[in-house]
Amino acid sequence: MEYRQLGESGIKASAITFGAWAIGGWMWGGSERKDAVEAIRASYEQGVTSIDTAAVYGMGLSEEIVGEALQGIPRDRVQVMTKFGMRWDMRKGDFAFKSQDNNGKPLDIYKYGGKESIIKECEDSLRRLRTDYIDLYQQHWPDVTTPISETMEALAGLIKAGKIRAAGVSNYDRAQMIEAEKTLSLASDQVPYSMVRRDIEKDLVPYCIEKKKAILAYSPLQRGVLTGKIRPGYTFNEGDNRGDSKYFTGDNLTRINAFLEELRPLAAEKGASLAQLVIRWTLEQPGITIALVGARNAQQAVQNAGAIRVRLSTEEVAMINSKLAGLRID
């Protein structure tokens, strides 16, 4: 495994980090808890020492599973990352969207970054994760109803109290990061990035490189479509909303699969799966520090970790990029 610095925080994380969104079930359909625990432990055995989750994933369930899985593993050998600021238990802040819990109960989700809320969320997460500190605590989404300075001041207080080691953000653009940095030095920004979603390359990536901020790329496999396993006509399980995404519908899915077929010979030459090739490509991109990849079971976790052994030359990366240039997503 490769380990990379999270900005200037002093924290090193595994380049491939276990993304624990799917195991919470929320927006991904059901997940077997036993399989999820085994997936995290299998990842650790492969050198994946970092786990990223969030309070809202399964309304606390993902954090609980992570906490269970890490029992028996020395705490100082793992980097626990979680997020705050998506409240399903209060009507305050910036309304995000209507959702439902894992039992189908309707929920309104609010983005909220108020100080007292952050302190409460941190304590709740610590309890669910069964730990006394969080390595990287990230605001899940910006909240337009709360000044960024208030949110950052709360995070600074948590660092001082020893509750968290470093602070990060998620889904922040360049301007929002600049505003946050007026109050607190951030370690990272976690944002969506994949072969078919590269909009951050224009403004955010150059800023993070210049200011030495880590970029944690989530959904590098674009929620599974870049594995090559999801083809036209694929049926999603109940509660799995991926089928509503533009990447899984109509001609987009057809074109993505055609592009992936062009990559299969290179993957075969490397002794790798398409998913492993895509993960490795992600880690080769300028400014990308970490690739967050989820797994529902131990087999998937081992496969994901194996991507670190794939080696791509500068010429091979350029070849992939040239093929990407002709891929149209409507």
| Spatial distance between the Cα atoms of 290 and 284, rounded to a whole number of angstroms | 10
DSSP 105-159: -EEEEEE---HHHHHHHHHHHHHHHT-S-EEEEEESS--TTS-HHHHHHHHHHHH
Encoded amino acid at 316, one letter? E
Res 238: pLDDT:
65
Domain segments of the chain: what residues? Answer: 3-224+279-311
| Spatial distance between the Cα atoms of 37 and 24, rounded to a whole number of angstroms | 11
| Spatial distance between the Cα atoms of 129 and 80, rounded to a whole number of angstroms | 9
57 belongs to the catalytic site: yes
> Domain 3-224+279-311 maps to which CATH number in 3.20.20.100, 3.40.50.2000, 3.40.50.2300, 3.30.300.20?
3.20.20.100
For 257, the token pair is 């699969």
Chain-centroid distance, C-alpha 31 = 18
Global pTM value = 0.93
Contact residues for 27 (Cβ-Cβ < 8 A; gap 6+): 21, 99, 239, 240, 241, 242
> Pairing relation of β-strands 94-100 and 79-84?
unpaired
For 110, the token pair is 């609010």
Q: What is the mean pLDDT of each run of 10 residues along the chain (330 residues)?
A: 97 97 66 89 98 95 95 97 95 90 85 97 98 98 97 98 98 98 98 96 98 97 89 69 76 91 96 97 98 94 97 97 90
Catalytic residue among 57, 110, 137, 193: 57
Res 241: pLDDT:
66
